[in-house]
């Protein structure tokens, strides 16, 4: 071996160690999991996700807070009735208990336990609001203005706490407890003006929260609770108002309506509020009802109430352009126009004759249904579509029930006019059927089927009544009943033919309606109409019904 050359034994040993290390690394790499393509879940229902429910402790705390609040209200009333302790001591007890609970709940909210703190806040704020209202209006410890200011400060504090915790539920709880205070601590006698002032201060404070805190426009629960709660309490005040209080109460109703408009639209804030149109429409209708009761208690001429109704209708029409600027589009146009026209139409029965209130309700339902269809036809559908549809459904149902139990029952009274256009029940029935037709159109979701069924009842009864009124002069005894049968048979045949040209659910619905009405007509013909008819009448009726059936079949075959 030459000097300086590496030792062969050393090289072999190094090579052996190197091979062993390489083998160990390869074995380790082979044992490690290799990344592969993403696994695809097998077809089938997705595994259930863990529900983010409210912890049981929150439910227990909320229930306990509600019970504590009810107990506090009963204690205040009982203490007043029994004359126990002094007014100042009772007030101090409520102030101390409510303050401790409110501070504890605020600490929990800011400390991370928002739900538990919100539940306890119901008891704390409720006791404080009860105490201040009782001290001002029940115990007479201080001027009512002090109690109103205290309620406003508590509501503002709750709004600030909710803004800091980014929770609208905190303000909702505050508003709910403030609304419960006058109910739980209601005094005997007439306190309508005091209640209206209290509610005006409460709603004004709720309106101030978004502007002071810079947030809250999307707090739907607080806004809806404040507006609807105050107006429902105001309706009770309007129902029991005295004639001497009617002028002041009417002015307070106007102030309340202005505040409700501010809460609904929140003008001036950067982000547009949610559901302003539906909230404003609800407040407007409740204000119209409360104003009517106040007007009646004031002893003024009933027909003159049409003037405020007309002003309210024009006011809603004037809101169209500001609403466009506020919402950045025309999605509120249809609802405001429908609301304005509804006020204008309602002014007619108020000024002229109350029998036209039924057609006014039906036309109002028709206008709301039209507004809902406009909102649903937008791309994407407007956020007000669901609320407008719900209001249209409710009013259409109310108008239909009134027509069934009032307009339809008097259709064949001896003094009822024979011409359809001269009868309020005629307009009421056809307008109501038009509302149901719009609600049964596309875009109604689950409400399409109930609307379609209501349309069948309203339309077929309305047409049959008017045709029967027309033939009543020719055959007073049997003519109206036979007219009903033939109209229903013709309606069934027409819907059956229309169903043959449709597809999907519309085809099934129209075919089912056609078979149903033709079956009803046949059963009525055999079991009722011809029970005591003579031979010529039987021949005429069977010829007419048979001709309708054959004609429908031939027309359907020709168009197929």
Asked, for residue 352, whether it belongs to a domain, the answer is: yes
Helices 504-524 & 448-472 angle (0-180, nearest 10): 40
Is the peptide bond preceding residue 380 cis, with omega within 30 degrees of 0? yes
pLDDT at residue 272 in the model: 82
Q: Show the domain range for 490.
A: 474-559
How far CA 221 is from CA of 171, 263, 280, 373, 390, in Å, comes to 9, 12, 15, 26, 18
Report DSSP state, residue 447.
G
Tell me: do 410 and 538 sit in the same domain.
no
Find, among 460, 455, 424, 423, the residue nearest to 439 by Cα: 455
Residue 489 and residue 387 in one domain: no
**Residue 7, C-beta contacts closer than 8 angstroms, at least 6 positions apart:** 1
264 and 276 Cβ atoms separated by less than 8 Å: yes
Same domain, 338 and 392: yes
Q: What is the DSSP letter of 353?
A: -
CA-based end-to-end distance of the chain: 109
Q: Is residue 258 part of a domain?
A: no
**Spans of the chain, pLDDT less than 70:** 1-70, 72-86, 138, 184-190, 215-217, 352-355, 379, 381-383, 407, 409-423, 443-444, 473-479, 529-560
Listed in sequence order, the residues at least 6 apart from 152 whose beta carbon sits closer than 8 Å to its beta carbon are: 201, 202, 204, 205
Tokens standing for residue 53: 């429910």
Contacts of 189 (CB under 8 A, 6+ apart): none
Task: Single out the residue of 131, 64, 69 nearest to residue 96, CA to CA.
Answer: 131
Structural domain includes residue 24: no
State residue 419's pLDDT score: 46
Round to whole Å and give the CA distance between 281 and 264.
Answer: 9
The whole-angstrom separation of Cα 417 and Cα 466 is: 11
Residues 432 and 493 in one domain: no
Does residue 376 sit in the same domain as residue 309?
Answer: yes
In a domain, 129, yes or no: no
In terms of Cα–Cα distance, which of 183, 64, 76 is closest to 124? 64
On whether both 434 and 493 belong to a single domain, the answer is: no
**Is the domain of 348 the same as that of 423?**
yes
Quote the pLDDT of residue 46: 41
- Asked if the structure places residue 14 within a domain, the reply is no
In a 13 Å sphere around the CA of 421, the CA atoms on its Cβ side amount to 0
**240 assigned to some structural domain:** no
Tell me if residue 484 falls in helix, strand or coil.
helix
Say yes or no: 338 and 413 in one domain.
Answer: yes
- The answer to whether residues 478 and 417 belong to one domain is no
- In the Cβ-directed half-sphere of 367, how many Cα atoms lie within 13 Å? 21
Q: Are the beta carbons of 363 and 431 closer than 8 angstroms? A: yes
Which of 402, 428, 462 terminates a domain? The answer is: 462
Phi/psi-derived region of residue 39, left when phi > 0, alpha when psi is between -120 and 50, beta in every other case: beta
The dihedral formed by the CA atoms of 413, 416, 421 and 426, expressed in degrees to the nearest 10: -30
Largest CA distance in the chain: 144
Regarding whether 448 and 497 lie in a shared domain, the answer is: no
Give how many domains the chain has, as a whole number: 2
Last-in-domain residue among 427, 462, 497: 462
Contact between 338 and 367 under an 8 Å Cβ cutoff? The reply is yes
Report if residue 151 sits inside a domain.
no
Pick from 422, 442, 462: which residue ends a domain?
462
- Domain-located, residue 63: no
**For residue 282, what are its two tokens?**
């609800």
The verdict on 339 and 409 lying in the same domain is yes
Question: Looking at the structure, do residues 388 and 307 belong to the same domain, yes or no?
Answer: yes
């Amino acid at each position: 071996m030459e000097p300086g050359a590496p030792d062969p034994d050393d090289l072999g040993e190094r090579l052996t160690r190197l091979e062993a290390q390489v083998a160990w690394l390869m074995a380790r790499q082979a044992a490690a999991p290799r990344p592969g393509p993403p696994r695809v879940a097998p077809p089938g229902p997705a595994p259930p996700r863990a529900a983010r429910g409210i912890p049981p402790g929150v439910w227990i705390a909320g229930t306990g807070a509600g019970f504590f609040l009810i107990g506090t209200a009963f204690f205040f009333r009982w203490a007043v009735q029994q004359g126990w302790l002094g007014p100042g001591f009772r007030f101090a007890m409520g102030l101390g208990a409510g303050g401790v609970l409110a501070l504890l709940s605020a600490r929990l909210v800011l400390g991370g336990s928002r739900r538990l703190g919100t539940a306890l806040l119901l008891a704390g704020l409720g006791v404080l609001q009860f105490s201040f209202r009782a001290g001002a209006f029940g115990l007479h410890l201080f001027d009512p203005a002090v109690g109103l200011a205290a309620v406003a400060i508590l509501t503002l504090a709750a709004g600030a706490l909710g803004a800091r915790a980014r929770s609208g539920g905190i303000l909702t709880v505050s508003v709910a407890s403030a609304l419960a205070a006058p109910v739980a601590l209601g005094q005997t006698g007439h306190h309508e003006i005091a209640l209206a002032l209290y509610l005006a201060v409460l709603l004004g404070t709720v309106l101030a929260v978004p502007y002071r805190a810079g947030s809250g426009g999307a707090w739907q629960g607080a806004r809806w609770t404040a507006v609807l709660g105050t107006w429902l309490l105001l309706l009770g005040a309007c129902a029991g108002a005295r004639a001497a209080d009617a002028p002041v109460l009417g002015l307070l109703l106007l102030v309340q309506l202005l505040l409700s408009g501010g809460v609904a639209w929140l003008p001036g804030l950067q982000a547009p509020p949610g559901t302003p149109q539906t909230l404003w429409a609800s407040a407007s209708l409740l204000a119209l009802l409360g104003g009517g009761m106040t007007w009646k208690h004031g002893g003024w001429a009933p027909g003159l109430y049409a003037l405020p109704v007309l002003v309210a209708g024009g006011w809603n029409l004037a809101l169209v352009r500001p609403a466009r600027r506020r919402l950045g589009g025309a999605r509120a146009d249809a609802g405001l126009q429908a609301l304005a026209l509804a006020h204008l139409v309602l002014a007619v029965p108020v000024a002229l004759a109350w029998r036209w209130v039924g057609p006014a309700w039906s036309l109002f339902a028709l206008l709301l249904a039209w507004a809902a269809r406009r909102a649903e036809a937008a791309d994407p559908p407007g956020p007000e579509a669901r609320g407008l549809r719900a209001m249209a459904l409710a009013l259409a149902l109310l108008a239909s029930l009134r027509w069934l139990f009032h307009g339809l029952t008097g259709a064949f009274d001896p003094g009822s006019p024979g011409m359809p256009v001269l009868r309020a029940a005629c307009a009421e029935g056809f307008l109501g059927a038009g509302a149901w037709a719009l609600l049964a159109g596309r875009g109604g979701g689950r409400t399409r089927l109930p609307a379609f069924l209501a349309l069948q009842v309203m339309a077929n009864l309305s047409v049959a009544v008017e045709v029967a009124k027309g033939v009543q002069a020719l055959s007073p005894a049997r003519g109206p009943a036979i007219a009903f049968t033939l109209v229903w048979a013709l309606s069934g045949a027409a819907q059956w033919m229309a169903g043959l040209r449709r597809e999907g659910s519309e085809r099934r619905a129209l075919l089912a309606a056609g078979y149903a009405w033709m079956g009803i007509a046949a059963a009525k013909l055999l079991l009722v109409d011809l029970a005591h008819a003579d031979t010529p009448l039987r021949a005429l009726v069977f010829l007419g019904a048979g001709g309708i059936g054959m004609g429908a079949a031939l027309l359907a075959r020709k168009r197929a």
